[in-house]
Amino acid sequence: MSITIDGHQIDVLYSEDVIRGRISALAHEIATLKPQNLLVVPVLKGSFIFAADLIRAMHQAGLSPEVDFMMLSSYRKGTTSSGQVDVLRDIEASVKDRDVLLIDDILESGRTLAYAKDLIAARGARSVRSCVLLDKPGKLAANIKSDFAGFSCPDKFVVGYGMDMAHQFRELPFVGFVVPKS
């Protein structure tokens, strides 16, 4: 399936149904760890829809996490990583001796998640794991891999389900890719 918005053709990569099924499985995988005093930290902005669905699936899987948000910026504008990570908003919760689960939309170079993981580990968390909706293999520049991943994603620029291209397309209920204009 494909839709056109503002002259951009967007092809569906993962449909709403496919995402829903995968998230339920992820929540059950996370629950098997039996996390203690779990703090879930969605890394904004791109993860907000994924996180909203994942934490509700975690409830269905028997978990009752606390949720706090971190906003990091690594991309700015355009489609390439700048390499620099800025903390735009930090969590308020204490992480000392807690199991922490970072939630992000995509692991690409890994710089964003590696930064967040180091920051939280340095504050004395018992464990810091990560769950990403999409893994983009082959692009890692930082020493990190996700503990849980929804899908292994082709090397295309994806949008929707919270993810944007220059602030557009976050509202799409599916994950799609922008077909380059020929």
The contact set with Mg ion (CB under 5 A) reads 46
Cβ proximity to Mg ion: between 63 and 162 the closer is: 162
d(CA 39, CA 64): 9
Binding site for ligand IMP (CB under 6 A): 46, 74-75, 81, 104-112, 157-159, 163
Residue 158's binding partner, choosing from Mg ion, ligand IMP, none, with beta-carbon cut-off 5 to 8 A by kind? ligand IMP
Q: Across 55-182, where does the E strand assignment appear?
A: 66-67, 70-73, 86-89, 99-107, 127-135, 148-152, 158-159, 175-178
A 10 A CB-CB count for 97 gives 11
- Distance of closest approach, residue 114 Cβ to ligand IMP, in angstroms: 8
Spatial CA neighbour of 32 closest among 180, 156, 148: 148
- Distance of closest approach, residue 4 Cβ to Mg ion, in angstroms: 25
- Distance of closest approach, residue 60 Cβ to ligand IMP, in angstroms: 25
Contact present, 23 and 53 (Cβ < 8 Å) = yes
Cβ proximity to ligand IMP: between 63 and 102 the closer is: 102
Residue 99's binding partner, choosing from ligand IMP, Mg ion, none, with beta-carbon cut-off 5 to 8 A by kind? none
A 10 A CB-CB count for 62 gives 10
Residue 109's binding partner, choosing from ligand IMP, Mg ion, none, with beta-carbon cut-off 5 to 8 A by kind? ligand IMP
Structure token digits, residue 170: 């976050």
Cβ proximity to ligand IMP: between 55 and 161 the closer is: 161
